[in-house]
């Protein structure tokens, strides 16, 4: 495999998909973030921690602009890093993925990864807007979220390896095995310790838009990486023989 | 008489070097966007970086939108 071409196409695909993700967030998630931060500000004024003064709003606008501006850049960074993981797994599993076109193969893998390392963890620990979340528990919540993703991802990998040893007619057993495994983990893992005190229509709207935007990322990643792979064929090289 | 023949060779083996590079990028990017609380800039800025939270603020909106616990 051509190493430089492989690395470059994987990183570019992830970066482009991440930029799409960041742009989607700006369009559909950002209004919910603004609303949630507005509630946070009101709480600060009510508690006396901050005063509703022009100076406050100048400082607020400054860092909110910085945060909003970072959406696309952070999307590109996150997209590139998750794309790197996706590229590694795609390279190892491409031949066993169904389909005769690399876009189809990449989309199938993107769907599997979306389900196992995003959607199932999201069901257990859904995204929350600002105003939800006690700073005192952020380390615990981070450990729980990352652990669940790792357990689900490595669990899926383990059952995939197991399925390779099974006859074609028995491969469904591996899928059922993963379903049972992750169901047990889902029930056994502790709940998010924080109480949701923000309005539920805001929280649910934010979660729905977050889900849509992340799903757009995975679809974009599958299409772009698959198309790049199809075009650049990093696993193939032209060799000339003279006799 | 000699002749040349061109054939496309398929090499399926994934280079270890590429896997290592991509794994490092994955870990670094995930930490930067999802978990950094001033750690990275503290290397050059010192303890002040944990108050400034430069990277945290930059990635704040994506952190929430992508599902990471933020604060």
Give the tens place of pLDDT for each residue, A65-119: 888 889 999 999 999 999 999 999 999 999 999 999 999 999 999 999 999 999 9
Are the beta carbons of B17 and A73 closer than 8 angstroms? no
Confidence (pLDDT) at A63: 83
For the record, the structure tokens of A113 come out as: 């990864």
The ipTM of this complex is 0.90
Interface membership of B68 toward A (CB under 8 Å):
yes
Q: Using CB atoms and an 8 Å cut-off, which of residues 146-185 of chain A contact chain B?
A: none
The answer to whether A50 and A41 are in contact (CB under 8 A) is: yes
pLDDT digits (tens, 9 = 90+) for A43-60: 889 988 888 899 999 988
Backbone torsions φ then ψ of A3, nearest 5 degrees: -60, -50
Q: Which of A67, A95, A236 to mutate to test the interface with B (most CBs of B within 10 A)?
A: A67
Residue with tokens 């590694």, as numbered in its chain: A88
Residue B10 makes CB contacts below 8 A (sequence gap 6+) with A235, A236
Q: B7 — contact with chain A (CB < 8 Å)?
A: yes
Q: What is the pLDDT of residue A243?
A: 67
Distance of CA A91 to the CA centre of its chain: 19
Kindly tell me the sign of the dihedral angle through the C-alpha atoms of A26, A27, A28, A33: positive
Residue bearing tokens 């109480």: A195
For residue A93, the model assigns a pLDDT of 93
User: What is the model's pLDDT at position B1?
Assistant: 62
Residues B67 and A101: their CA atoms lie apart, in Å, by 32
3-state secondary structure of B8: strand
- Which residue from A69, A81, A209 is facing B29, i.e. has the nearest CB? A81
Q: How confident is the model at residue A228 (pLDDT cuts 50, 70, 90)?
A: very high
Query: Would you kindly state where each structural domain of chain B is located, as residue ranges?
Result: 35-71
Question: Rounded to an integer, what distance in angstroms lies between the CA atom of residue A50 and that of residue A42?
Answer: 9
For chain A, the structural domain boundaries read 3-107+198-232, 133-195
| Three-state secondary structure string covering A156-203 | HHHHHHHHHCCCHHHCHHHHHHHHHHHHHHHHHCCCCCCCCCCCHHHH
Interchain contact A8–B (C-beta under 8 A) = no
Cβ separation of A241 and B33 shorter than 8 Å?
A: no
């Amino acid at each position: 495999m051509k190493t430089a071409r492989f690395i470059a196409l994987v990183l570019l695909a992830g970066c482009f998909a991440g930029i799409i993700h960041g742009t989607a967030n700006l369009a559909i998630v950002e209004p919910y973030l603004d609303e949630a931060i507005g509630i946070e500000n009101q709480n600060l004024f009510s508690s006396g921690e901050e005063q509703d003064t022009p100076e406050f709003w100048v400082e607020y606008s400054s860092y909110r602009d910085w945060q909003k501006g970072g959406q696309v850049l952070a999307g590109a960074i996150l997209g590139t890093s998750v794309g790197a993981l996706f590229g590694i797994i795609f390279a190892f599993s491409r031949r066993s993925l169904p389909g005769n076109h690399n876009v189809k193969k990449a989309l199938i893998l993107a769907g599997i990864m979306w389900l196992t390392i995003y959607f199932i963890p999201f069901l257990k620990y859904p995204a929350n807007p600002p105003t939800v979340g006690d700073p005192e528990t952020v380390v615990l919540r981070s450990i729980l979220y990352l652990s669940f993703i790792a357990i689900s991802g490595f669990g899926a990998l383990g059952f995939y390896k197991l399925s390779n040893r099974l006859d074609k007619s028995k491969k469904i057993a591996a899928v059922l095995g993963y379903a049972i495994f992750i169901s047990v983990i889902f029930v056994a893992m502790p709940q998010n310790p924080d109480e949701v005190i923000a309005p539920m229509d805001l929280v649910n709207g934010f979660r729905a838009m977050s889900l849509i935007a992340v799903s757009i990322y995975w679809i974009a990643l599958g299409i772009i990486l698959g198309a790049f792979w199809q075009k650049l064929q990093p696993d193939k090289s032209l060799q000339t023989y003279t006799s | 008489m000699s002749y040349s023949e061109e054939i496309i060779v398929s090499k399926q083996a994934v280079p270890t070097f590429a896997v290592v590079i991509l794994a490092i990028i994955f870990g670094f990017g995930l930490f930067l966007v999802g978990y950094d609380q001033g750690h990275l800039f503290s290397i050059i800025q010192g303890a002040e970086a944990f108050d400034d939270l430069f990277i945290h603020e930059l990635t704040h909106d994506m952190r929430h939108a992508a599902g990471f616990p933020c604060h």
